Structure 1
Amino acid sequence: MFQCNPRMHVFQLFFHFCPYRNLLDMDTFSKSDPSKTEVIDNTLNPDFVKKFILDYFFEERQNLRFDFRLEKPLGGIQGKKCGTIIVKAEELNNCRVSKWFFVPIKIKTVKFWSYLVMFTTFYLLLFLYRFTICHKTEVVKNTLNPVWQAFKIPVRALCNGDYDRTIKVEVYDWDRDGSHDFIGEFSTSYRELSMGQSQFNVYEVVNPKKKGKKKNYKNSGTVTLLSFLVDIEVTFLDYIKGGPYQLNAYAMALKAVGEIIQDYDSDKMFPALGFGAKLPPDGRVSHEFALNGNPQNPYCAGIDGVMEAYYQSLKSVQLYGPTNFSPVINHVARYAASVKDGSQYFVLLIITDGVISDMAQTKESIVNASCLPMSIIIVGVGPAEFDAMVELDGDEVRVSSRGRQAERDIVQFVPFRDYIDRSGNHILSMARLAKDVLAEIPDQFLSYMRTRGIKPSPAPPPYTPPGQPVQTQI
């Protein structure tokens, strides 16, 4: 608010900002390019809508200067105060500046006025019982039922991310000389407005002065919200967040299962194989290639190493069909066949988005592997039908091939889409995925050890600090 002698003026405010590092430059303000507010005319108390956003630095001194431009010079005695500037500041919350909503409003009068020239003003509750203007609609002329055009306001400017903050709306009858007649007001919030057109967004426009003086006074009309829309305008950071560091379904499944099962491996070195891709430099199709590009040593250090090898392989290979499972199953089976004494147990995790192209060969590979110390986990990614993989799971009917039935159930299959959390809580959904795919591993492990009569190795003796007697039990 700016107060001065009772004459009409045209006001425009200039805002200068001087950071601490420029304080030594005595002519900083004169050289700076000031920000400007809108022009307000025919009022002694201009209330500027335009806001200025500044970065705050705790360690720097930041000087501000405000200048007024007037059509006529301010009256008054030289050296005396000609008015007061009220500056209100607030820290911006971390909310999207790109969210907008559109609000056409209609007022229905309950008392006859001559044709009105009307506009509305939106005020934001900045501090308790103190409001600051955040928007003015256009003026609608010569109607008792004005409908204002849809307008957009950043959520930050309207409520600073606080959806329950009070928003006050005032309705005026516009006068050319600036002495606008106050019709009434009402209060709402972003949360209420976000409900859209409904019974909750019909507001009574009340003039407090009339309500206090007239017993039968109820309101000066009603304002109805006709529509509401939130439009998200993406930013540079949105693209960065959605870039290569955003886990896709393959990576999410691999990380969820791998981070749990890796704790049961002593050296944390995992061979990682890909299948269904054309490899450089000749473009040959392979269903059994090392993700790290080293066929002689396909081992990766921990699940993080597997993830890194996976992302690197996506840059060098060309994904290509068909989807053959038997090569990778046979690859792991060769390792498992060489260690049958129970000292090692192998778990093969297959993540795929397609149907099986070599179903017969895959069944035969599973039947052959069912007598080996290994289990197979299959996670199906994408919208494909996975009926064939359900068949491989073998929970209801044991997998068979060429008249031979699998010695034991060693396959667990789950579709990834069943574990997508609609609320966006990927941590919880991936925890459920890991729980379900690993649930059968202990029983599969025990079934192999029991059928082979393999006893667990004796546990190592408990650690005894040096200098203390060794305790024995009888």
Structure 2
Amino acid sequence: MMASIGEFDPLNNIVPATKIEVTVSCRDLLHVDTFSKSDPVVVLYLQGIGTKEWREFGRTEVIDNTLNPNFVRKFFLDFFFEEKQNLRFDVYNVDSRSSNISKFDFLGQTFCTLGEIIGSTGGRLENSLSGIPGKKLGAIIFTAEELSNCRDIATMQLCANKLDKKDFFGKSDPFLVFYRSNEDGTFTICHKTEVVKNTLNPVWQPFTIPVRALCNGDYDRTVKVDVYDWDRDGSHDFIGEFTTSYRDFSRGQNQFNVYEVLNPKKKGKKKKYINSGTVTLLSFKVESEYTFVDFIRGGTQLNFTVAIDFTASNGDPSQPTSLHYMNPYQMNAYAMALKAVGDIIQDYDSDKLFPAYGFGAKLPPDGKISHAFPLSGDNENPNCVGIEGVLEAYFQSIRTVQLYGPTNFSPVINQVARSAQDVTDGSQYFVLLMITDGVISDMVQTKEAVVNAAALPMSIIIIGVGPAEFDAMEELDGDEVRVSFRGHFAERDIVQFVPFRDYMDRSGNQVLSMARLAKDVLAEIPEQLLGFMKTRGIEPRPALTSSDLPNLHRHI
């Protein structure tokens, strides 16, 4: 228990995911019953990360005698932007009372990701059903909505009275630790207040916390609060604890929100023990904040650009030791990193056109060195069609350019920044993925480029491949200290750097390595997008609803 308090990092604390409600309907299903129409049901399967296994997640109700069902029972799914959440929907005709699927008639299936549904216009995706050769199986339609309590942020302030004195020479240095309870009875730390020095009657600063971090949407779930006396060596003394709930807190300041702090050990030992002090809720308010999903549903597009390091330190591409070696049987680290990140981001970019650049190579025919050449070979149009198109252009470039140097980052960053500068109205957000094997040669210019880019709708992901020391990269990843240039600090932290080797699966499972990598490098993008929108006062456009879309009601 004690160790976990010290290790708690509010920046990296996992807030429960946004909950998405998926509604399903079908059109023109296959007619299989002789005397009536079909009695359809839809079964949802989820695929585990890094495995190929599908497991059943849930089923809609069965609707009798229709080929155009609008199901009432919804699927509630946790949404993680940074994961590729593969879904499979199977449609069956139910003609027996059994719940055993093997007894049902198969009417077709479709595969998609949760990101595809959310990233579709208005959060509405229509797919054709397939799986029975030579037959038209109709369509399945999904709509996605975020549950409203996912966006609530609570602000509260607490104080304490007559806490136990724990320090030999002075009073106590109290702080509070909040835990939300989990379904299985365990507790997860979700907030830690600051320490108020040398007092038994502390007043803590007001703090804000997402409501779902406090109770995961269940207002009556237990919230446990521990009171500690801070010690410099980290062995904080336990003063006592109390429990409450989000619903109790939300009633605001009243006589019920004064809590006795109890220490079970003391209570057991001392007959006259009453309590170890009291904690009082001074104020409580809830506000709604816009979420990442609000912006995506309102039409904000993620523009994805790739830049690949073609410097000589990667090694001769014709040799197996090269980081750019084209093994016919497995992808190299560059291709894996590109695919891992690109496969997820592409769900949020409707045109699927991705600019792709190389840097640090000599180009044919005259051997000119370039630090931002289009992999497509077309200076007028650097776009590639889909992630597969980017991979093809990369493989083609490896065969045609000469690896050289130095490793200059700033030209590509400035190139993307110029595009981002043209659209600062919230309709687009730019994500630049840079994959490199080594140390930056133009660190000063790169810092300047990052500081300038931080004022634009833009994030930068840098993935280091190969065995090099990447210490200098940590300077650009502003988690600890914000990047600065000539005394100007970046207004936001927009760079995320990771070495790929930290994510490699020991057993050689490439799918798992890629999933781990993507999860880590993409996790900060939603917050970075929201940070930009907030500082610019940009609100999401209203989500397109089904009534704004043609053809939804054509068969109803």
Higher RCO, 1 or 2 (CA under 8 Å, sep at least 6)? 2
Higher strand share: 2
Q: For this structure pair, what is the TM-score category when the shorter chain's length is used for normalisation?
A: 0.3 to 0.5
**Which structure has the larger Rg?**
1
Report the TM-score when normalising by structure 2: 0.40
Report the TM-score when normalising by structure 1: 0.47
